Chain A
Amino acid sequence: MSTLVDGPLRQPRSTPVTGTPLLELHDVDVEIPLPHGRLHAVRGVSLTAYAGQALGLVGESGSGKSLTLRAAMDLLPSPAVITGGSVVVAGTDVTGMRPAQRREHISSAMAMIFQDALTALNPTMRIGDQVAEVPRQRLGMSRSAARARALDLLVQVGIRDPEQRYRAFPHELSGGMRQRVCIAIALSAEPGLILADEPTTALDVTIQKQVLDVLGRLRRDDGVGLVLVTHDLAVVSSTCSELDVMYGGRVVEEGLTEVLLSAPRHPYTAALLRSVPDPDAPVHRLLTIPGAPPDLLQPIEGCAFAPRCPAVVDRCRTERPPLASLGGPHASACWRAHEPERWPGAVGEAALEGVLR
């Protein structure tokens, strides 16, 4: 395992990871057919994730972040379907594969963990057996080897007394322990990448920290990549080196987390940063974003954020800005990305000062 994690992977913040990406999305569209129209939830999202890298996908409810992740894992909830673009896993395009073959290929490269660990686990099976299931069924291990492997995995995710916990049922464990078991199950097929959909949202802060530490350690020590979907900018900031910000089904800004947090170049990112309360400094007024997210049942003309954007100009309403590079990995889908000093008010302030001190 250690051969995977030399040099650059140990400092993902400073050195971009090279090599074959484990997951590539190219212009993926996801639509949900509804009685009164088609809800275009994900609109041409492209992203790339490597082993050993932590990528954050941030956005508010309805931004399409979870569906993007589920599209990648071929776990879209019915009736949502991928209607455009391609999903490339470990160098192979899976979009055209037969379903069984696609699942096989995807699950050998990636695994997913969910927000609600209790519903993700089988309530009638002992947790050890659930962790041993993949080694036994798919990797073809003997009963005792699978058990040993499961115990290993439980230790790896920080579960003490694995021998005793092995026989526990999910309801006997705390929320943090359940999420650890889910991570252990995700690891059991030795994936290169873990896709995590709000894995710590339901957990208390102290437990959240422990779970994030487990994911961080797996990435540093074993080179397991992470795509983390969350609405919590603080969690992303302490976990992920790269960041994609989504709004209205599209990626509106992407780049290194540090850069995005210190010099956002999309007014939405800037506004979002200023609306998060800071535990270390009380400001008596939080920035709010007026208006509501776009109606994804309708076609969106121009920039989806334009109706709520303080820096809006006429062009934004008619022409959609492409996700254009600002140098290096930093890209923003804003016509005014190159002139943040001319954005008005708090958004302009946030763009120039960021929130990193």
Chain B
Amino acid sequence: MSGTSPSTGSGSVSIGSGSVSTASGSVGEEVLAVEGLVQHFRGRGSAWGRLRGRPPKVVKAVDGVDLVLHRGETLGLVGESGCGKSTLSRCAAGLYTPTAGVVRYARQPLHGAPDRAQRRLVQMVFQDPYSSLNPRMTVGQTLSEILTYHRLVPRAQVRARVGELIDLVGLPTRAADQLPRSFSGGQRQRIGIARALALEPQVLIADEPVSALDVSVQATIINLLLDLKETLGLSMLFVSHNMAVVRQISDRIAVMHDGVVVEEGDTSEVFEHPHDDYTRLLLASVPRIGGAPAPATAGAATERGLR
């Protein structure tokens, strides 16, 4: 890394500078933060390697990341496959216990898995809504199970609350009695969002929520997320490889490469004046309607990318 990263070393202080502005105008306090986050995965290695006493290969998926998400803000996390963005988001959601570093929810550090109260603060929306829903449970059953387990509403009102949630994400009322398989991809993603919203979280972590959808459907989900963020005052960590989508939805973005954040800043600032070489390469590679990328950067970028 060329040392231009504003985030390396200096912890969360430099990121949280007051100059950040969001679409809604004001920026609140920290709602989610990771500090010095490291997540290594240890491979099994080959049987032969184990016999010879060779150490198993360690994959450094996330290798020292500091990020802060403020109240009411959308932070876009971009990068290519294998850069560690999904691992980072899963650590932030408490699905992995990090190798080192701290995850904080509302300034309280997380010890191991989040407890019930912490779970309610941060919820996740996955890329493939179908595999993240129970195929044998109707949408209504899925949602009421969560509401009952977390004792969010009195038992008598569960049914009504399910109806509200379904309405909130723009699904027809009869959806409550249907199984996930009877919905289209876009509708399933709406169910996934309803499931996450059932806990009334403050933070939504969305890992590639629109990548599996057609463009016109993708647009409806993006609009839905923007609306929900506005009406419910959510903060969002939006993970995607799609630069165009991230540009639409994020107030700030962080670019990841090889397990570290190489550049972070206001969305328009990063898109218009990228500092890091990798960010430039990424931006130059994005196909554009009716436009070839700038020739000079693109040429240099391709050379580098081929290595």
Contact = CB atoms under 8 A, between A and B. Distances in A.
Contacts of B245: 277
Given A209-B302, A279-B271, A286 B287 contact: no
A120 to B, nearest CB: 19
A284 B226 contact: yes
A233 interface: yes
A113 B250 CA distance: 35
Interface string A236-250: 011000000000000
A206 B248 contact: no
A278 interface: yes
B286 A279 contact: yes
A208 B290 contact: no
B80 interface: yes
A285 interface: yes
Interface in A187-211: 204-210
Given A205-B80, A286-B223, A261 B289 contact: yes
Contacts of B283: 279
Top 8 A-B residue pairs of the complex, sorted by shortest distance between their CB atoms: A286-B219, A356-B290, A234-B287, A204-B80, A279-B244, A275-B219, A277-B244, A60-B214
Interface in B176-220: 184-185, 214-220
Interface in A238-268: 238, 258, 261-262
A354 B286 CA distance: 20
A24 B287 CA distance: 29
Interface residues on B, range: 35 or more
A174 to B, nearest CB: 9
Contacts of B138: none
B23 interface: yes
B184 A288 contact: no
B247 to A, nearest CB: 5
Interface string A284-305: 1111110010000000000000
14 contacts: A60-B214, A158-B306, A206-B80, A206-B281, A206-B285, A206-B301, A207-B305, A234-B286, A234-B288, A235-B287, A261-B289, A279-B271, A286-B222, A356-B290
A175 B218 CA distance: 25
Interface residues of A, number: 46
B290 A258 contact: yes
A234 B289 contact: yes
A357 B268 CA distance: 19
Interface centre among B215, B243, B271, B292 (most CB of A within 10 A): B215
B247 A282 contact: yes
Contacts of B80: 204-207
A210 B287 CA distance: 11
Contacts of A205: 80, 241, 243, 282, 285-287
Interface of B: 23, 80-81, 184-185, 214-220, 222-223, 226, 241-245, 247-248, 267-268, 271, 281-292, 298, 301-302, 305-306
A288 B287 contact: no
A275 B214 CA distance: 10
Contact of A210 (B218, B248, B291, B306): B306
A262 B290 contact: yes
Where chain A touches its partner, the secondary structure class is: loop
A85 to B, nearest CB: 26
A288 B248 contact: no
A53 B247 CA distance: 33
B306 A279 contact: no
A276 interface: yes
Given A209-B285, A233-B289, A237-B291, 19 more contacts: A60-B216, A61-B185, A204-B241, A205-B285, A206-B305, A232-B215, A233-B215, A235-B287, A273-B289, A276-B244, A277-B242, A279-B283, A280-B271, A280-B291, A282-B248, A286-B222, A288-B219, A355-B290, A356-B290
B244 A283 contact: no
A213 B305 CA distance: 13
Contact of A285 (B185, B223, B282): B223
A355 B289 contact: yes
Nearest to B210: A277
B268 A282 contact: yes
B190 to A, nearest CB: 13
A330 interface: no
A237 B289 contact: yes
Contacts of B243: 205, 279
Contacts of B23: 284
B220 A288 contact: yes
Contacts of B222: 277, 286
Contacts of B223: 285-286, 288
A231 interface: yes
Interface centre among B271, B285, B289, B292 (most CB of A within 10 A): B289
Contacts of A285: 223, 226
B232 to A, nearest CB: 17
Given A205-B243, A286-B248, A355-B290, A210 B305 contact: yes
Nearest to A233: B289
